[in-house]
Structure 1
Amino acid sequence: MGRRALLTSGAAGAAAALAGCTSDGDRGGPRKPSAAERAAAAEAALRARSVATSRDLLLRYDAVIEGHPALAARLAPLRASVAAHVKALGEGGAAPAPGPTASTPPSAAAASSSASPAAASPSGSPASVRVPSDPAAALQDLAAAVRGTADTHTAALLTAPPEYARLLASVAASGAAHAYLLTEGARG
């Protein structure tokens, strides 16, 4: 069994245990989860959503690189940062789901996509993300996705425990810098 599968099954088992499926000996009914169990379950769910959000962004980077290999050198450092975010957001909780590895960029040999500028919701592979055929439009779409991801992480700060909130704030700030580099920073 691979490490990811082991982590995923362990996280699933922990989530099931936190669901409060044991019985209460005093009343004979299901026992209500304690405040600590509810907090742990809420944090695990938040981590899973945060990882999924950043993983979707990583897939968008992969799709743009596949669709526009000439942008690969420019996007590689930003993509690597997002891959590190996926890993950091999942540490101590939800493991990233199987799929393209965060450290392996997609093949740069893929043909350019001629899909419309409207981006599809990522569903597990760079090929599932539509990328505009114009490189400038592809960068604009990617920057919009980066801003959306940063906004999602910022909104999650309201319910995050303190330590995880600091991480989310850092990831959101990084996303704002990435959006700038993808748009305004390229003009200078």
Structure 2
Amino acid sequence: MTTTGRRALLRAGAAAGATALVGCTSSSGEGDGTRRPSAAELEAERVARAEAALRLRSVSTARTLLERYDAALAAHPALTTRLTPLRRSVAAHAKALGEGGTTVGPATISPSSPSPSASASASVSPRPVPVPVAADPRAALKELAAAERTASDRHTDALLTAPPEYARLLASVAAAGAAHAYLLTEGAPA
């Protein structure tokens, strides 16, 4: 064999070996259209899921409070003047907390869609369970104030894991809840 023949044979062998190596590595996931996500991508996905779950809990807390206001207004129409501005504020908080929707798994929860608990209970029972309201208007106001404090505490607890912009919103909503609780109990007589 001549020197030119050997070199050509070596080049062809090297090219075949390189092709085989590329074929081996691409068959481990890249050749079939999938690739393994990087550690940064996995962390970003984990953070996004955690934030979506946080938003879902926050929206659910606000909607539960809104249901309490609706029940109190239905049970005590005489409190309409006092409760309507606070209810409007809680509704705005629920909308703001869910702005852009929250995605957890295959479902997207938007501010206009029913709460996850409401949709789950709707599929189980034909009518939603009514929120209990005290027969006495003063007691109903105290219950609402307690519900406001509970919601405020939940929003405050969520600050620890919230991203900065959402934490600011949660802090504002929590502060408003504390003010609502004050207005419901100390602010004005029933």
**TM-score, with length taken from structure 2:** 0.67
Q: Distance in 1 between matches of 2:142 and 2:129?
A: 19
Q: Distance in 2 between matches of 1:165 and 1:49?
A: 14
Does structure 1 residue 96 correspond to structure 2 residue 111?
yes
Does structure 1 residue 160 correspond to structure 2 residue 162?
yes
Which letter maps to 1:186?
A
Q: Distance in 2 between matches of 1:128 and 1:181?
A: 25
Of residues 148, 157, 181, the one that matches 1:179 is 181
Instruction: Count residues in correspondence.
Output: 143
- State the SS of the aligned residue for 1:183: helix
Q: Which runs of 5+ in 1 are unaligned?
A: 1-22, 101-122
Q: Distance in 1 between matches of 2:128 and 2:187?
A: 25
Q: Distance in 2 between matches of 1:25 and 1:143?
A: 58
Report if aligned partners of 2:101, 2:111 keep a CA contact under 8 Å in 1: no
Report if aligned partners of 1:60, 1:126 keep a CA contact under 8 Å in 2: no
Of residues 78, 83, 88, the one that matches 1:80 is 88
Structure 1 residues 33-72: aligned runs within 5 Å: 34-72=42-80
Q: Distance in 2 between matches of 1:164 and 1:29?
A: 32
1:86-128, Cα deviation, whole Å (9 max, x unpaired): 000001332136349xxxxxxxxxxxxxxxxxxxxxx688861
Q: Which runs of 5+ in 2 are unaligned?
A: 1-27, 103-109, 116-120
Q: CA deviation at 1:25?
A: 4.0
Could you tell me the percent identity over the aligned residues?
Answer: 64
- State the SS of the aligned residue for 1:128: coil
**TM-score, with length taken from structure 1:** 0.68
Q: CA RMSD in A?
A: 2.7
Q: Distance in 1 between matches of 2:186 and 2:174?
A: 18
